[in-house]
Structure 1
Amino acid sequence: MLHIMSQETGTSGAAEAGLFADDYLEEPYWWSAAPLPSVSENMEPALLDGRADVVVVGSGITGLVAALHLAREGCDVAVLDAQRIGEGAARRNAGFVGRTLKRSVEWLTAKSGRDHAVRVYRELDAALRGVQAFVDRERIECHYQTCGRFIAANSNAHFRALVTELEQTRQAVGFDYSVVEKHEVRSEIASDGYHGGAVIPDLGSIHPGLYHAGLVRKALEAGVRLYPLTNVVGVDHDARGKTVRTSRGGIAARHVIIATNGYTSRDLKWLARRVIPFRGFLIATELLPPETIDRVIPHRRTYLDTKMNIDFLRPAPDSSRLLFGGMTGTASPTATPLAGALRDRLVRILPDLKGVRLSRAWTGHCAGTFDFMPHIGTKDGVHFALGYNFAGIPLGTHFGEKLAARILERGDPSSVFDVEKFPTAPFYGGSPWFVPLAMRYFDWHDDRIAKG
C-alpha cells in the first residue's frame, strides 16, 4: 500500500488504508481494452530517409483521421509521434462527446457578431454529429452512445447563469435542454451538493481507447506508415518542398500537418507559443455492483458541473465502474499523489461511495489557448489544428477531415475556427508555468459568482 501526503494539494485521503484496489495501476483505464500497440507492431525502419506526399506530426485523433482520408485518396502518408502510437491524449481523455466551449453564444456575439457566434455553434454541432457518423461508417466498435449530459449547478447563481446561457443558445441555434430544479437533482445524481442543473439530451460518450485503436487499424489497412518514438524538431522549406527534421533523420514531403495539441514540442516555436498545455487527472473505481451505479447516476449520462475548473463523472462503458476527473492543471507529473484527493472529491459528491477503492489513476496533457477557442489553419505552408479546450474528440475528428479536404482540394475545407489571428502572449515560449495560478483564479472567480 502506498502512503502519500502532498502539502501542495492537501491530499490526506491518499494516506488512508484501503484507497487502492488490489489491481491498482497508474495507467489509463482505457488501456485495459485498448492496450498501446507494441513498437514492433507499427515501427518503420530505424532511420527516416526518403519522402512522403504528406507527413502528419501527431498520432492522435486529428492526425489519424486526416491520414486515413488522405491515404484512401492515394496519398503516401507518414505519421510521426514522439511517443508510442496512442500514448497521448487520444487514449487518456474522459470520452465525453459534446459541443462545449468556454465562450458562450452571447460572449461571441458581443465580440464578433451574431452570425459568427451562430456559425461557431453550428460547426460544433456538426462536429458532434460527425463522430457518430464516422464511427458508424467505419464500423468502429467503441461504445459510442447518445447518453445525454447532466450539468450540475454549484450554486444558485451558477444555476441561473446556466439556464440563461442554455436558453440563449436555444434561441440562437435551437439546441434542446431541460431544466432540473434543485429538488429534482437526485433524479439525475445521488447528491445533495448541487442547486439544480440541466440535461442536454443529445450529447454522447465513447470509449476513447477503442476509438483510437480502430483509427490505428483503419490507417494501417489504408497503407499509412506509422513512426512512433520520432521527435520532430523542425520543418525546413525550400524550392523543392518541405523537410521534416526528426530525432531519426529527415523526411521530405509536399504537405505537413501538425496535430500535436497538448504535446506540441517547444521546437515547433510558432505553435508552441500559442497552445497552453496542462494536465488533466482521472480515476477509475474498483468494480461496483451495477445497482450501485444505477442508484448514484440512474440515467448513466456524462456529468459535469458549472465551475470553470470542472469536476466530471461518467460510468465506464464496458465494466461496472465509475470514472471521475478533476483538479485540472495541478502541478503534479503523476496521478497517484492526487488519487486520494480525487477520491475524496468523488465521495463528497456521491456519499454512497464512501470507502470505494480505486483501480486506476492517470494523467495526460490537454491544451487550451489564450482566447479559449480551438484553431485550424496554415502557417508558412504547414497545416495545423490545435487548442481543443476540452472538445478534442468531436473537433479532432472534424478537423482531421477538414485538413484532408484542404490538402486534397475537394470537399468542404472551410471552418469558422480558421481565423487569421491565433493569439499568444508576450514572452510566452510554450512553458505554462502560470496554469496553477490560472486555476486558482478560476476557483476564486467561481466562489465570487456563488456568493453573488
Structure 2
Amino acid sequence: LAPAYDVVVVGSGYTGLRAALTLARAGRSVAVFDKERPGHGASRRNAGFLGRTLKKAYVDLKATKGEAHATALYRDLAMAYESTLAFIEEEGIECHAVRCGRLVAATSPAHYAGLERELAGMQADLGLPFAMVPRARLREEMATDLYDGGAVIPDLGALHPGLYHHGLMAKALAAGVAILGNCEVTAVEPAAGRFRVATAVGQTRARDVVIATNGYTPGNLPWHARRVIPFVGYMAATEPLPPTLLAKQLPHRRTVIDSNLDIDFFRPAPDSLRLLFGGATANGLQDPAAIAALLHGRLRRALPDLADVKLSHVWTGQCAGTFDMMPHIGCHDGIWHGMGYNFAGVPMGSFFGLRIAQRILGLPEGACAFEAAAFPTLPFYRGNPWFLPLAMRYFAWKDARLARRRPA
C-alpha cells in the first residue's frame, strides 16, 4: 500500500478495471481495492450478454423526455456495445466475444405487439435492425411453444464474462495498476485538496477516487448506497448435453431473453456443450437446492426437451438497479461513480469505466449522455432494499396486465 496514488478505484469489476487501465496508460498511478478477491462479484458471474437496451423503452423515453434525449441515451448505449467489442478485439482478449444475435421471446400477443412497436421506433430513428418472428415460426429459433413469437436483433452479441474479466485484469496489471483484493475500503474523506482513503490494511491518499461497486456498494459509502438497489440474480448450467440436443434448443446459438420486466434468459455456453440460463430475480432464496429447483422449473417450462437434464452448477451474483431504472455516471463531491446498470452491466460497465477515466484526464470525449440526469433516491432509504419482494410482485402484475390487453 503506497502512501498516495493519483487515483484510487473502489471495485474490481468491469467499470473499475477499465477506468484503471485507461488512467494507468495515460501515466497516472492507480490502485484498485476490492473487499473480496478481484473478480469475486457479478463481473465474472453474469450471463455475458452484450446489448444496447434499457429497462426504459426507447419509444417511452421519446414520448416522455423528447426525441433528442432518447436518441442521445440510445446512441451512447450503441457506442457502449460497439466500443466494448472493439476494445476486446484491439486488446486481443480471448473471451469468445461474438455477434451471435439475440431473440427476445414475447410472453403474450400484447408483448409481441409492444416489442414490434419498440423495435420499429428504434429502427426508424436510430437505424437499428430487427426482424419479427411470429409464433408459427418460433421453433426456427428456439425449441419451445411457450412464447407468442418474438423478435430477432441480429447484431447483438455475447462473451465469456470470466475470461473477459481475466483479460481486462491482466491488461491492467501489465499497465502498472496495483490491484489489492481482500482489502475493504472503509471510508473516503476529503483531506487537504485530496482524498483520504481508509482501508482494511491502512490509509492512503488520492487526487481522484472512483466508486465502481454497483451491487456490492457498502453502507460506509452512504451517498452511493442510497442510490442503488442491490438484488440477487440466479443462474445455472446444465450438465454437458449431446451436441444434437443442444443445437435443437437454440439452432442459431443466439442469446435469448423474454419480454417480461423480470426476465428469464438462456444461452449456449461459449466454451462447452452446456446450456446456461437464469431468471426468478430477487426471490430471496439462499439455499442452493431451492434455487436449483426454482430454475429447473423455469428450464422445463421453456425447453421441455431438457426436462430430465441435470444441472451441474447453480450460482448467484449481486446486481443493482436504480429508482429511475437507468444507469448513472457522474461526480458527487469530487468522487466519480458509475453504477446501477439494470441488467446492462457488461457493455455499460466497460463504457462507464472508459468515460470516467477520460473525464478525470480532462478529455472532451469523456462526455456521456447518462451523466446529465440527477441520481435519485427515496427518503429514508439507506441501501437496504426491503421492498424488493413488493417490487417484483409489481413487475409481475404489470407484465400480466399487459398480457391481458388485446393488441391493436
Structure 1 unaligned residues grouped into runs of 5+: 1-47
SS in 2 for 1:257: strand
1:86 aligns with 2:42: no
**Structure 2 partner of 1:44:** none
For residues 255 and 325 of structure 1, the distance between their equivalents in structure 2, rounded to whole angstroms, comes to 37
What is the rounded CA distance, in whole Å, between the counterparts of 1:269 and 1:255 in structure 2? 18
Q: Which residue of 1 aligns with 2:283?
A: 330
Q: Which residue identity is paired with 2:309?
A: V
Equivalent residue in structure 1 for 2:3, among 50, 54, 73: 50
Q: Which residue of 1 aligns with 2:223?
A: 270
1:113 Cα shift? Answer: 1.3
- For residues 362 and 426 of structure 1, what CA distance do their matches in structure 2 show? 33
8 Å CA contact 1:281, 1:335 repeated in 2: no
> Structure 1 residues 392-401 or 238-247, which shifts more?
238-247
Percent sequence identity is: 53
| TM-superposed deviation, 1:436 | 1.5
Map of 1:49-448 to 2, 5 A cutoff?
50-448=3-401
Cα distance, 1:121–1:240 mapped onto 2, change above 3 Å: closer
> What TM-score do you get using the length of structure 2 for normalisation?
0.98
Q: How far did 1:239 drift?
A: 2.2
In structure 1, C-alpha distance between the alignment counterparts of 2:246 and 2:260, rounded to whole Å: 24
Amino acid at match of 1:363: T
The residue identity in structure 2 corresponding to 1:228 is G
What corresponds to 1:4 in structure 2? none
Distance 1:418 1:162 in 2: 28
Residue 334 of structure 1: CA displacement? 4.9
Aligned-CA RMSD value: 1.0
1:334–1:362 CA contact under 8 A, matched in 2: no
Moved >6 Å (runs of 4+): none
Residue equivalent to 1:6: none
**Alignment coverage as a number of residue pairs:** 405
Choose 245-254 or 274-283, whichever is displaced more: 245-254
The 8 Å contact of residues 98 and 128 in structure 1, kept in 2 or not, is answered as: yes
Q: Hey, what's the Cα distance between the residues in 1 that align with 2:364 and 2:6?
A: 19
In structure 1, distance between residues paired with 2:218 and 2:64: 31
How far does the alpha carbon of each residue in 1:396-433 deviate from its partner, in whole angstroms, 9 at most, with x for none?
Answer: 11111101111111251100000251100111100011
Q: C-alpha displacement at 1:437, in angstroms?
A: 1.4
The gaps in structure 2 that reach 5 residues or longer are none
- Describe the SS at the equivalent of 1:184: helix
Assess if the C-alpha contact under 8 Å between 1:334 and 1:363 holds in 2: no
Partner of 1:69: helix, strand, or coil?
A: helix
Q: Which amino acid aligns with 1:102?
A: K
What is the identity, as a one-letter code, of the residue corresponding to 1:374?
P
In structure 2, do the counterparts of structure 1 residues 334 and 234 end up closer, same or farther at CA, with 3 Å as the change threshold? farther
Aligned residue for 2:190, secondary structure, equals strand
The whole-number CA distance in structure 2 between the counterparts of 1:310 and 1:341 is 14
* CA distance in structure 2 between the partners assigned to 1:63 and 1:334 by the alignment: 30
Moved more, 336-345 or 75-84: 336-345
2:373 and 2:265 mapped to 1: Cα distance? 33
Task: Report how far residue 235 of structure 1 moved.
Answer: 0.9
Cα distance in 2 for partners of 1:233, 1:406 equals 25
Deviations along 1:174-195, one digit per CA (max 9) or x if unpaired, are: 1110010110000000101111
1:14-33 residue CA offsets vs partner (Å, 9 max, x unmatched): xxxxxxxxxxxxxxxxxxxx
CA distance in 2, matches of 1:214, 1:111: 40
1:54 aligned counterpart, secondary structure: strand
CA distance in structure 2 between the partners assigned to 1:262 and 1:111 by the alignment: 28
Q: CA deviation at 1:246?
A: 1.7
The 1:131–1:335 alpha-carbon spacing in structure 2 relative to 1, beyond 3 Å, is farther
8 Å contact kept, 1:147–1:204: yes
